[in-house]
């Protein structure tokens, strides 16, 4: 067993792809029902092109709930551009692994927050003391593709799906950062093991609606989470089908808007409303989770260049998944620890010297 581990480690360190066990937000799409605009994010640490997505310095996760990088990702930089969107538009988040393959993790929730940039256009807005409100969250779902067994929604992202979130239909106009976050919990059985992947996008919301979060519904990042939160330090993550989301509740005005958009879908967009409703997560997930949708079949307005194949038949029940992947997870966790330790020893010098 140890021999296998060392061999795997050696191969891993020599052949860099194992670095891609993390990832980043590669694209943000905005679908208004008539047209689809796809914004490209910058590969972490690459020479940046103008984007609406704030570039991070590495595909690695943010570790620790009090880490300043919990705000917008590792060493996040201001982005040059601002996306235009309107209340009720569909946000389409396309997460990728570092080598541009599928997102590598399948355990843990996905959450979406927003904060106002005030009167500025967000391109120079420092959000470290800005208050964020939650507009969506999704965790364990039960649906037809999982044979009605509980499964993390993140599994579908690993399988190649986009993550869809509808902008609240009463969201007041103005300049906002959208903070979409994946929390990977495969190491969360240890305190501090959770991996945070926040990504911030700069948008300008049109219209003239009144919807805003209450002050009591808003949090700072860092500040909104604690390492000991049950949804962050989760010893039962492999044995339980229940999950407690970290952070504040979804702002009340959002769910108010959800029922409004349901009854007036014809006035918003006949193209997206049925599509997003049909991909909801089934009877057990009402309310808040219905705001947060996975795009399981390709929307016809998504350009062919951005379409990614959805692998079918890969939606295993949670417990089956646990058994099959437990060893892989333990190995992966150990590998991360070892690689981190090697990094601390300035591995390259160590390697050459030996």
Residues near Cu ion (CB under 5 A), total: 2
From the CB of 23, what's the least distance to Cu ion, in Å?
A: 7
Q: In the chain, count of helices (H) and strands (E)?
A: 7, 13
Residues in the chain: 354
For position 18 contacting Cu ion by CB under 5 A, the verdict is no
Nearer to Cu ion, 21 or 91 (CB): 21
- Closer to Cu ion by CB, 199 or 258: give it: 199
Determine, following the binding rule CB under 5 A, whether residue 180 of this chain makes contact with Cu ion: no
Candidates 20-28, 138-146, 211-219, 300-308: pick the segment binding Cu ion (CB under 5 A): 20-28
Of residues 22 and 134, the one with the C-beta less far from Cu ion: 22
CB nearer to Cu ion: give 58 or 121. Answer: 58
Stretch that binds Cu ion, among 16-24, 124-132, 215-223, 245-253 (CB under 5 A): 16-24
For Cu ion, which is the closer residue by CB, 220 or 335? 335
Smallest Cα–Cα separation from 227: which of 70, 341, 76?
A: 70
Confirm or reject binding of residue 199 to Cu ion (CB under 5 A).
no
With CA atoms as reference, report the closest residue to 230 among 218, 242, 222: 242
Smallest gap from Cβ 176 to Cu ion, in A, equals 27
- For residue 54, the 8-state DSSP code is P
Residue nearest to Cu ion (CB): 22
CB 196 within 8 A of CB 62: yes
Stretch that binds Cu ion, among 14-22, 95-103, 213-221, 228-236 (CB under 5 A): 14-22
Give the C-alpha separation, 35 to 14, whole Å: 45
Q: Are 261 and 88 in contact (CB under 8 A)?
A: yes
Distances (CA, A) of 346 to 14, 254, 329, 339, 349: 15, 48, 25, 11, 6
Burial of 81 from C-beta contacts in 10 A (0-12 / 13-18 / 19+): middle
CB of 17 to Cu ion, least distance (A): 13
Closest to Cu ion by CB, 22 or 315 = 22
Which two three-digit tokens encode residue 259? 């029922």
Residues 6+ apart with CB under 8 A from 187: 193, 194, 195, 329, 333, 336
90 is a site residue for Cu ion (CB under 5 A): no
**Region 22-51 residues binding Cu ion, contact defined as CB under 5 A:** 22
Told to check if 183 binds Cu ion by CB under 5 A, we report: no
- Per the CB < 8 A criterion, the answer to whether 302 and 116 are in contact is no
Helix, coil or strand: residue 15: coil
Taking CB under 5 A as the binding criterion, the range among 15-23, 248-256, 291-299, 326-334 that sits at the site for Cu ion is 15-23
Q: Does 21 bind Cu ion (CB under 5 A)?
A: yes
Which range in 2-10, 19-27, 44-52, 243-251 contacts Cu ion by CB under 5 A? 19-27
Q: In the bound complex, what is the minimum distance in angstroms from residue 21's beta carbon to Cu ion?
A: 5
Residues that bind Cu ion (CB under 5 A): 21-22
């Amino acid at each position: 067993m140890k021999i296998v581990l060392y061999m795997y480690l050696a191969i891993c360190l020599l052949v860099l792809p194992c670095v891609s066990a993390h990832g980043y937000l590669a694209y943000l799409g905005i679908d208004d029902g008539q047209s689809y605009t796809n914004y490209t994010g910058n590969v972490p640490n690459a020479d940046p092109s103008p984007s609406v997505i704030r570039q991070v310095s590495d595909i690695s996760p943010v570790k620790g709930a009090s880490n300043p990088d919990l705000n917008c990702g590792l060493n996040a930089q201001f982005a040059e551009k601002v996306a235009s969107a309107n209340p009720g538009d569909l946000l389409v988040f396309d997460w990728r692994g570092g080598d541009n393959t599928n997102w590598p993790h399948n355990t843990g929730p996905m959450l979406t927050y927003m904060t106002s940039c005030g009167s500025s256009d967000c391109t120079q807005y420092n959000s470290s003391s800005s208050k964020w409100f939650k507009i969506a969250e999704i965790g364990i779902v039960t649906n037809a593709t999982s044979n009605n067994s509980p499964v993390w929604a993140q599994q579908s992202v690993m399988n190649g799906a986009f993550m869809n979130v509808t902008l609240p239909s009463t969201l007041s106009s103005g300049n906002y950062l959208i903070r979409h976050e994946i929390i990977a919990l495969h190491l969360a059985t240890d305190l501090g093991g959770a991996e945070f992947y926040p990504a911030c996008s700069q948008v300008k919301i049109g219209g003239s609606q009144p919807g805003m979060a209450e002050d009591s519904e808003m949090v700072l990042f860092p500040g909104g989470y604690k390492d000991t939160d049950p949804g962050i330090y989760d010893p039962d993550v492999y044995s339980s089908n229940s999950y407690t989301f970290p952070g504040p509740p979804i702002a009340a005005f959002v769910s108010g808007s959800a029922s409004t958009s349901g009854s007036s879908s014809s006035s918003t967009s006949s193209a997206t409303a049925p599509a997003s409703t049909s991909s909801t997560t089934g009877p057990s997930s009402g309310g808040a989770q219905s705001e947060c949708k996975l795009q399981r079949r390709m929307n016809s307005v998504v350009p062919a260049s951005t379409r990614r194949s959805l692998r079918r038949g890969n939606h295993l029940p949670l417990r089956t998944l646990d058994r099959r992947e437990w060893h892989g997870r333990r190995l992966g966790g150990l590998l991360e620890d070892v690689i981190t330790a090697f990094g601390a020893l300035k591995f390259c010098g160590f390697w050459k010297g030996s």
